[in-house]
Amino acid sequence: MHQDWFTTLAQYGYRLTGSRKAVVEIISSSTQALTPIEIYERARKVNDEIGLVSVYRTLEKLEELKLIQRVHQPAGCQAFMVASREHQHLLLCSQCGEIRFFEGDDLGSLIHTIAKKTGFEINDHWLQLFGVCQKCKTGQEAGA
């Protein structure tokens, strides 16, 4: 997966540097949403030269290219994760932070009804489900 990201970055004329590679590898392989600081701390274990500022700059570019997306949670909205290619929704574990995509919502008729009732032209929606994952339910520790 991160190979694809490198290709995309290169296509857009961005150079492949050590700092960028570290950030890309960390985010693209995480099953949790990560904040800039969390990414920075993980990246430093690989490359202790990296600056937090490069994490921010890389996140900015990855978001522009729609390779990552911001995740909104009750605890805060600074975390990022891999973006879904298609229209999908999130399922989040409130305990360990694991995040999964799911698809197949059938909001069509609801959206139609609300549009008719309110006069709004509805063109997007956010749906997120919150819960406790299987691992956390059974008491196991979750892998980071």
Can you give the binding site for Mn ion, defined by CB under 5 A?
A: 105
Q: How far is the CB of 94 from its own copies (least distance, A)?
A: 8
Task: Output 16 or 114, the one with its CB closest to DNA.
Answer: 16
Q: How far is the CB of 98 from Zn ion (least distance, A)?
A: 5
* Distance separating alpha carbons of residues 63 and 91, to the nearest angstrom: 20
* Distance separating alpha carbons of residues 24 and 72, to the nearest angstrom: 20
Q: How far is the CB of 96 from DNA (least distance, A)?
A: 20
Q: Does 132 bind its own copies (CB under 8 A)?
A: yes
* Distance separating alpha carbons of residues 102 and 90, to the nearest angstrom: 6
Q: Under a CB-based contact definition with an 8 Å cutoff, are residues 46 and 54 in contact?
A: no
Task: Output 121 or 141, the one with its CB closest to its own copies.
Answer: 121
Q: Does 57 bind its own copies (CB under 8 A)?
A: no
Look at residues 48, 65, 57, 68 and name the one whose alpha carbon lies nearest to residue 10: 65
Partner from Zn ion, Mn ion, its own copies, none contacting 91, C-beta within 5 to 8 A by type = its own copies
